[in-house]
Amino acid sequence: NAGVTQTPKFQVLKTGQSMTLQCAQDMNHEYMSWYRQDPGMGLRLIHYSVGAGITDQGEVPNGYNVSRSTTEDFPLRLLSAAPSQTSVYFCASSYQDSHSGANVLTFGAGSRLTVL
Amino acid sequence: GQNIDQPTEMTATEGAIVQINCTYQTSGFNGLFWYQQHAGEAPTFLSYNVLDGLEEKGRFSSFLSRSKGYSYLLLKELQMKDSASYLCAVLDSNYQLIWGAGTKLIIKP
Helix (H, G, I), strand (E, B) or coil at B37: strand
* Mean pLDDT across A74-85: 97
Instruction: Please tell me the predicted confidence (pLDDT) of residue B1.
Output: 76
Q: Which of A23, A107, A112 to mutate to test the interface with B (most CBs of B within 10 A)?
A: A107
Q: Print the SS3 string covering A83-111.
A: HHHCEEEEEEEEEECCCCCCEEEEECCCE
The mean predicted confidence, pLDDT, of chain B is 96
Is residue B53 predicted with pLDDT exceeding 90? yes
Q: Closest residue of A to B103, CA-based?
A: A40
Report CB contact under 8 Å: A44, B99.
Answer: yes
CA distance B66 to chain A (A): 17
Please say whether the dihedral angle defined by the alpha carbons of residues A112, A93, A64 and B27, taken in this order, is positive or negative. negative
Instruction: Please tell me the predicted confidence (pLDDT) of residue B46.
Output: 96
- On whether the CB atoms of residues A83 and A116 are closer than 8 A, the answer is yes
CA–CA separation, A50 vs B43, rounded Å? 21
Note the pLDDT tens digit of each residue in B31-49: 999 999 999 999 999 999 9
Is residue B2 predicted with pLDDT exceeding 90? no
Instruction: Please tell me the predicted confidence (pLDDT) of residue A96.
Output: 86
Note the pLDDT tens digit of each residue in A20-46: 999 999 999 999 999 999 999 999 999
Report CB contact under 8 Å: B41, A100.
Answer: no
* B35 contact residues in A (CB cutoff 8 A): 105
Task: Please report which confidence band the pLDDT of residue A1 belongs to, taking 50, 70 and 90 as the band edges.
Answer: confident
